[in-house]
Amino acid sequence: MSYTVNVLDETTARPRPVAAVSLEFETETITVRELIRRRVYDEVTAYNAGAQERFRGLVVPQGMERELNSPVLPRPRRIDWEQQSARALEAFVRRGIIILVGERQVESLDEPVTLRSGQPLDVTFIKLVPLVGG
């Protein structure tokens, strides 16, 4: 059996959630850590395969510059998904990213998330944008 998670992205600068990706899991229960790692893995794999010109991921890879609010990476640089995953997990621990499972905020990387059979679960990643100058 397969369980679907619809990942939505939101920032404090753009408070309307935007669909990011849909993930499939084979188990009914996963941890927040597994959710973040899987999301990052899929994003990096798609970018490295050439599926997108600009990297649109949970966290910006180190050394990548922003161009018009969208990270641009000169080709053919490949992104290491495990490094990206470590950065994303650290961002969650530092509260730079808040995750809502349905309407409930998760607090820990090891917190279990129960998926629903036959009905996608919406998970919102809220990226907190630091205030400039303040």
Check residue 68 and give its pLDDT: 43
Alpha-helical (H) ranges within the chain are 32-48, 81-93
Q: What is the dihedral of CA 17, 23, 25, 28, to 10 degrees?
A: 10
Q: For the chain, which residues make up each domain, given as ranges?
A: 3-127
| pLDDT tens profile 34-92 | 999 999 999 999 989 987 777 778 888 876 655 445 555 555 578 999 999 999 999 99
Q: CA triplet 89, 20, 14: central angle to 5 degrees?
A: 85
pLDDT band for 16, please (50, 70, 90 cuts). Answer: confident
Please state the pTM of the whole predicted model: 0.85
